[in-house]
Structure formats: C-alpha cells, structure tokens
C-alpha cells in the first residue's frame, strides 16, 4: 500500500466520493491515490457518452442472442472484447451486464436480458463479467432488482415473495458477485415498497452482509430519492454528478446523526477500492481482424434453428440454383435495440443482402423487401443546408441557440447524419444550455418519386416544421423539466403529409424550443410514397420464380426501447401477410427472424425452415450468409419459451395496478417452469433448437460430491458433420427447473462422456433459509425443457443455512 493509499480521508472527502463528479465520472482525490473513473453504458458494446452516431464502437450480439448460444466460454470472450474496447475508448467501468430476466415476452428491454432462466442468465452474466474485467475494465451488473419491465418503471413497485426473490431474481446477481464484479447498479423501481436505491433488505442485508460482496453500489442515473435512506439502505454512490442527494449532503447526514459514520466510511472505502482496482493497469483491445472474427462467431453461435423440413438448410446451390431474397430486414436489419445504450455502428457494416450476394453469387436471383423496410421513425435523407468545416456532405445542419427566438448567431453548429439527436447537460457541448433555448435542424431534401411524403417530427419542447419556408406543422406545448426524460425515452413523433414532385429539392427546417432540463432531444424523418400492394406482388412473383427463398423479417430498433413495453407479441401485420403469401408461392422458404425476444410464431408451419437470429450485432450479414450456406453451424438453443397462445404465458401483462404495484404472482413458475407446472406444451421449448449435426444421449448416471452432485452422460454425434449440442439437466420438484448444462462440440461420428457438476444450491429451495430437497431428487436429462428422455435419481443431505 502506498503512502497515499494509507492516508485517512476526512469526512468531507469521504462525502465527496459518494456522488459522481460529472454525468459519467466519479470524483478523484489524487493525493489519496483515488483516481476518477470514467463510465459508459452497455451491455452490447461501449455506448458513447454523447449519444452521437460519430462515436463508432464495436457492436456485439445482444444478450438475448448470447443467451441463445448457451456458451459461457464464448460469452467470456465477448466480455473481454467489450472490456478491451472500453480501454480503447478510455472507459474504466462498463454499466453491464444486464441481469434482469425475460419474465414476459412484452418486456421492452428483453433483448438486453440473457434469458428467462436465472441459472442460464447467471452463468453467462458471470462469464461476461470475468471477460470484461480481464481487460482491466470493471463490470457493474444491473439493474438490482426486478427491473424486468419498462411500464412505469420509475414509479412501479415490484411485489415479490422471498422465495421467488432469492431463487430467481437475485440468483444472477449472486453469481456475478461470486465472479467478482466491480459493483452493482440499483434499479429505478421499488421492490416490496422501497426504492431500489434505498432497499436495505436487499442491498445491505443480503448482498453486502450475507454474500459479503465488497463492490460498489451505485444508483441508476437520477435514480436516487433521498440522502439518509439511500446511505442507510446500502447505496455507496449517487450517479450522475453533480450531487443531488449525496455528496456534501452525506457529511451533513452524518453530522446530524441520521447516518452512522461507519456507513459513510464503508461507502467511501468501496468507491476508493473500485478506483484503485480499475483506474490503473489495463489490457489491450483486440485487433480489428480478431474482433470481427469473434463477432461473426458469436452471432452464428446464437442463431437458433427450430424447423428444417426436408433438409432445406444448409442451402445447396446445386438444388437451389435461383434463390430469391425477400423481406425488409435483409436490407434494413435490426442489429440492436433502441435504448440509451445504443451503439453507434460502423457505417460500412455489411447488410444481410450484400453478404448473401457475396456468398451465393449468381444464385441470388432477386431481392425485394416485400414491405416498407423503414422504422416507425424513418431517416431524413438530406444534404446539409450549408457546409461546415467538418466536411460532412450528408445529414442536417444543426444550430444550437442560447435563446428560444433563434436570435443572433448560434453558439454551436454541427452536421449530423442522424434522425435522432439527444444532448445531456455537461456531456455534449450544447448540454451547457440550461436556460430556455432553441435548436434548429435544416437540410435539403430531394424527392425521388412523385407523391405524398410523410414528414415526422418529435422533441422535448415546442416544435415547428417548415418545408420551403412554409410552416406545415406547429406544436407550442412546453414540457415541465420532470416530463422531459419521459418524452425523450418514448420517441413519439407527429407527422404531416406533403405532396412533392420527383427531382424537386426542398428546404426542410425543424425547430425545437425548450425550457431548462438536464437533457433534450429532437428527432425527425420522412417517408417516401410507396404502394404496399405492388411491393407484396413483387415479392410473391419473386418467390414463384425461385427454387428457394430466404425471407428475412423482424423488427426495427424502435420496436425495443427503454420506458415502453410492447403491446403484443406479434410481428407487424404486413409482415405476417408477407410470410403467408411468400410461403404459399414457394414452400421451399426459410424464414429468418430478426427479433430480440419471445414472439408469436404461429405461422411457422407454413415455412420449410425457421431460423431465429435475435439481435445479432454488427456482423449479422456475414454470420447469416455463412450459416445458410453451411460454412458454420447454427449454434443456438432457445433462451426463452415461445407459447402457443399469449394466454399460456404465466406472466404477460406488465401494467401495475391502480396502487402502482406489479405483483409477481407467478412466483418462480414463469416461462417454461410455469407451462410445465400447468401441463401446457410450448410452441418452441426453452432450450430447444438444433444444428446441422445430429446427436444421441444415453447412459446417464449421477454421484454425490462434496457440494452437490455430478451427472455423467454419453453424447454421440450421429451425423456426418461436426457440430455442437447443449446437454441440459433439470430437477423435477417443486417445479421443473434447469439445474445444469454443458455445450459440447463433437466431430462427426465421435462420442464423449459429458460431466455436468450440479452444485448443492441448484437442489435447494428457500424456506426462511436454504433447504435441500428431501428424498430422492429426480433429474431429467435431454435436449430441451420439453425433450428429456433420460432420468436419474439421487438423495442428498445438508442445508446451506
């Protein structure tokens, strides 16, 4: 320990450490050896602090796609990649991984969750933590706890019984703690009546005292509500800075006897320890080639093949000399969801259609989207109103004014090639504007076809849209500061139709007037005219003329967002019609889905093959081409259950009651557990899926160990090609529950004995303490929660507490 590290901190210094210094940094006390830590949001990569499309970073597959891999070793490598990217970007702590659970298919951020199962989520989350921290970047697991939905998340109260909390929703965090994560981020919601940032029974009593977790606890951004209650509940660090409730107020709370000095010392010690641990030695980022190769591998490892009638896949050009590519997501893929952690993707990321053309060559006979491929908020394809010194030739010219009348020269001007702007106080240069002010976006739009164009506009204040100097839309509403974040997160926009002639250039101006708040946003877009019937007819004709069809459907990034859960589980209605019509025209169709969560697949029987790709990150195109051609295996298994009917899901609605309570009345029996307990067969089972290789299991046996048991089973690859299988073990009581698993790669014709350790905790339930299941415990072994052909039994003794 250096002299600086041994120096005792004053009360004022300790208090300083309990609040962030800026939006994304912690305070420093250099002469005590405490560096300032820089943070960034995750978990799909290193999100830019400015939320700026120019801050390009590597985009990994979303956690749901990584969850589909069932491969902790792979996920650890992906975590290492992100940790190294953080080093490159000068980031010390990543706000990741997200360890909440996909309790309902309607959850708006389900794509950020690894799974519906806590064991799968926990093992993969722990692996990601270990990988990230191997690069010298700290991992802050989030969001503790039960932030499993977005509806009224800033106000709702999750009501959860203790068994469910312990066995399900806390388990992934416990495993992250065992992996040594740098800290944990408390959620916005309440848990059993207390704000998560004040929830002493969870943070203080369970995580800190029972688990003896030494890491730092920080609030989600602006997620604190008090001084004494937060500190006494176990919170160590309020984010972001400058302080609102902690910081200097922490010292006052100690002086007034509201908070023990020992609690302040503990908070400061945890923040200082994180600074000393992650503010110094760093690893090296992966080189570009290695990073790209890993991202292709990781995407393909999560691709989940659930149907392959007649062996349509992999596609053989000898049998399919003319292949039609159809569907909106082939040219407009959904690489990721639309949260504040959205990554600025490299502009030359390969699209699926381009990768398919490169791999299959002349066999790709045609491409048509079939339906409009643009998101709800389309892009604004314009050139700047005036050229700035930045040399950008695409996008809008953005002028930021220090007044709401747009008077005088702007304080700042920039060219932005995006349709959505966000700026926070103290991050973006425009964030210094904390008084009433205005922002103007202007550009030149040239119509490529004649007809009605629909212009969209939204923002965090009063809005005005002008086309060729004519005001075509105006809304004078102003938002109270407390309502700004909700409007920003919702992304809702108004629209107006304007008839334009092909080839005619028009000036487009969007003006936003706003009142002081900690963040602001402006978004806009234009949708060109299009004939839905003509696009569908082109798709049907292309399908008829082809020997096989690759139909790529799915979501856009605004389908999965913060602050909103989904209204239903269905693909867009026009895509359902597209699937029906294309499959009827050519039964040799593989439907590729680009969806980040469980969704309604009742149409699946119409297609010869169905491949779920989730949100696969920036290398979607290359991975898809390689898997469809058979160069790689589709390595995924279902990380969630897809029910036959929405009513089968044990937890569907995410709307709190009139008192703001969201009752987790399904307890531990949600997802596959709930369906099995009620004897309901799923449409696609948790853990289900297959690759191009085939496997057989036999000769399962189990023996007791010092801490649980060890199951051994023989796995044989019965096919003529190499591949991977996920061997899954479930206990049967009190409900069907995943107890262990292993992903195993085998060469063609090879066999091996697979050994799966099952810790005692996996065979225990919580009843005011951990109790081992009585009598012989039956374990089922197989390929999914609904395909478990082997069984063994074992009797164990001993309680953990």
> Known catalytic residues?
220
**Phi and psi for 51 in degrees, rounded to 5?**
50, 60
- The span from the CA of 439 to the CA of 512, in Å, is 5
Q: What is the DSSP string of 77-129?
A: HHHHHHHHHHHHTT-SEEE--B-----STT-TTGGGSS-SSHHHHHHHHHHHH
Q: Is the peptide bond before 143 cis (omega within 30 degrees of 0)?
A: yes
- The span from the CA of 305 to the CA of 630, in Å, is 12
Which residue has tokens 């997200």? 98
- The span from the CA of 243 to the CA of 267, in Å, is 15
- The span from the CA of 57 to the CA of 53, in Å, is 10
Cα–Cα nearest to 620, from 642, 598, 592: 592
Which residue has tokens 């992934």? 172
Cα–Cα nearest to 312, from 78, 629, 716: 629
How many angstroms from the chain centroid is the CA of residue 349?
Answer: 19
User: Exposed, middle or buried by CB within 10 Å (0-12, 13-18, 19+), for 622?
Assistant: buried
- Residue 594 host element (H or E): strand 589-594
- The span from the CA of 522 to the CA of 537, in Å, is 37
User: Other CB atoms closer than 10 Å to residue 787's CB: what's the count?
Assistant: 13
Q: Is the dihedral of CA 181, 182, 186, 187 positive or negative?
A: negative
Strand, coil or helix: 757: strand
- The span from the CA of 510 to the CA of 382, in Å, is 13
- The span from the CA of 107 to the CA of 113, in Å, is 10
Tokens of 307: 């149907």
Q: How many helices and strands (H and E) does the chain possess? A: 18, 35
Q: Is the dihedral of CA 615, 620, 623, 629 positive or negative?
A: positive
How many angstroms from the chain centroid is the CA of residue 485?
Answer: 20
CB 544 within 8 Å of CB 506: no
CB 105 within 8 Å of CB 640: yes
Tokens of 175: 């495993």
Cα–Cα nearest to 373, from 325, 421, 418: 325
Beta strands (DSSP E) in 371-493 are 383-384, 396-401, 412-416, 420-424, 437-446, 451-459, 462-467, 470-475
Cα–Cα nearest to 564, from 110, 32, 70: 110
CB 336 within 8 Å of CB 342: yes
- CB burial readout 52-65, b (16+ within 10 A) else e: bbeebbbbbbbbbb
* Secondary structure letter of residue 343 according to DSSP: -
């Amino acid at each position: 320990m250096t002299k600086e590290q041994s120096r005792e901190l004053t009360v004022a210094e300790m208090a300083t450490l309990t609040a962030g210094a800026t939006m994304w940094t912690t305070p420093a006390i250099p002469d005590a050896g405490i560096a300032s830590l820089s943070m960034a949001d995750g978990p799909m990569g290193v999100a830019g602090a400015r939320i700026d499309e120019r801050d390009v970073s590597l985009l990994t597959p979303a956690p749901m796609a990584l969850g589909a891999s069932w491969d902790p070793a792979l996920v650890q490598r992906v975590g290492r990649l992100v940790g190294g990217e953080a080093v490159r970007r000068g980031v010390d702590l990543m706000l990741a991984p997200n360890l909440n659970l996909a309790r309902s298919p309607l959850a708006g951020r389900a794509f950020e969750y690894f799974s519906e199962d806590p064991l799968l989520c926990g093992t993969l989350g722990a692996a990601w933590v270990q990988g990230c921290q191997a690069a010298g970047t700290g991992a802050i697991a989030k969001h503790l706890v039960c932030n499993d939905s977005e509806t009224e998340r800033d106000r709702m109260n999750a009501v959860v019984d203790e068994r469910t909390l312990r066995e399900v929703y806390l388990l992934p965090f416990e495993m992250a703690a065992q992996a040594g994560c740098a800290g944990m981020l408390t959620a916005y919601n309440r848990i059993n009546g207390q704000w998560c940032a004040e929830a002493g029974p969870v943070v203080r009593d369970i995580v800190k005292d029972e688990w003896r977790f030494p890491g730092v606890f920080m609030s989600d951004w602006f997620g604190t509500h008090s001084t004494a209650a937060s500190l006494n509940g176990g919170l160590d660090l309020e984010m972001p800075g400058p302080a609102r409730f902690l910081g200097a107020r922490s010292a006052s709370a100690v002086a007034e006897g509201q908070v023990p000095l020992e609690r302040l010392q503990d908070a400061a010690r945890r923040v200082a320890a994180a600074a000393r641990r992650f503010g110094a030695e760093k690893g090296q980022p992966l080189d570009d080639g290695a990073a790209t190769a890993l991202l292709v591998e990781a995407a393909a490892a999560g691709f989940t093949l659930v149907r392959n009638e007649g062996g349509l896949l992999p596609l053989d050009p000898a049998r399919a000399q003319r292949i039609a590519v159809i569907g909106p997501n082939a040219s407009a893929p959904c690489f990721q969801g639309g949260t504040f952690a959205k990554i600025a993707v490299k502009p030359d990321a390969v699209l699926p259609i381009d990768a398919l053309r490169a791999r299959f060559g002349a066999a790709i006979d045609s491409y048509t989207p079939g339906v409009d491929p643009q998101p709800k908020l389309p892009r604004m394809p314009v050139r700047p109103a005036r050229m700035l010194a930045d040399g950008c030739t695409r996008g809008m010219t953005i002028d930021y004014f220090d007044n709401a009348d747009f008077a005088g020269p702007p304080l700042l001007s920039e060219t932005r090639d995006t349709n959505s702007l966000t700026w926070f106080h103290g991050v973006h240069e425009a964030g210094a504007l904390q008084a009433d002010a205005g922002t103007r976006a202007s550009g030149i739009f040239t119509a490529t076809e004649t007809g009605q164009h629909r212009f969209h506009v939204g923002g965090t204040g009063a809005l005005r849209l002008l086309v060729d100097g004519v005001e075509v839309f105006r809304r004078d509403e102003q938002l109270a500061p407390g309502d700004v974040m909700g409007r920003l997160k919702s992304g809702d926009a108004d629209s107006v139709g304007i008839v334009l002639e092909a080839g005619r250039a028009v000036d487009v101006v969007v003006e936003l007037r706003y009142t002081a708040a900690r963040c602001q946003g402006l978004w806009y877009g234009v949708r060109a005219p299009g004939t839905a019937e003509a696009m569908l007819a082109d798709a049907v004709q292309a399908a008829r003329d082809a020997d096989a069809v690759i139909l790529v459907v799915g979501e856009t990034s605004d389908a999965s967002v913060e602050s909103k859960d989904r209204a239903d589980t269905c693909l867009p209605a026009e895509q359902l019609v597209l699937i029906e019509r294309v499959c009827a025209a050519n039964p040799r169709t593989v439907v590729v889905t680009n969806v980040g969560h469980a969704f309604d697949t009742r149409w699946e029987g119409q297609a010869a093959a169905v491949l779920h790709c989730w949100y696969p990150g920036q290398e979607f195109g290359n991975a898809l081409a390689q898997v469809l051609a058979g160069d790689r295996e589709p390595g995924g298994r279902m990380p969630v259950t897809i029910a036959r009917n929405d009513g089968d899901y044990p937890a569907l609605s995410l709307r709190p009651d009139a008192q703001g309570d969201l009752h987790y009345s399904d307890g531990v029996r949600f997802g596959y557990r709930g369906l099995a307990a009620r004897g309901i067969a799923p449409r696609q089972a948790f853990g289900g899926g297959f690759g191009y290789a085939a496997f057989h299991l036999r000769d399962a046996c189990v023996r007791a160990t010092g801490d649980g048991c060890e199951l051994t089973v023989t796995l044989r690859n019965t096919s003529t090609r190499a591949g991977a299988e996920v061997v899954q073990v479930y206990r049967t009581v009190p409900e069907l529950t995943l107890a262990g698993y292993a992903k195993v790669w085998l060469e063609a014709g090879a066999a091996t004995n697979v050994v799966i350790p099952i810790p005692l905790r996996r065979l225990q339930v919580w009843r005011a303490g951990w109790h081992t299941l009585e009598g012989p415990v039956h374990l089922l072994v197989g390929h999914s929660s609904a395909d478990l052909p082997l069984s063994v039994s074992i009797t164990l003794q001993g309680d953990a507490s």
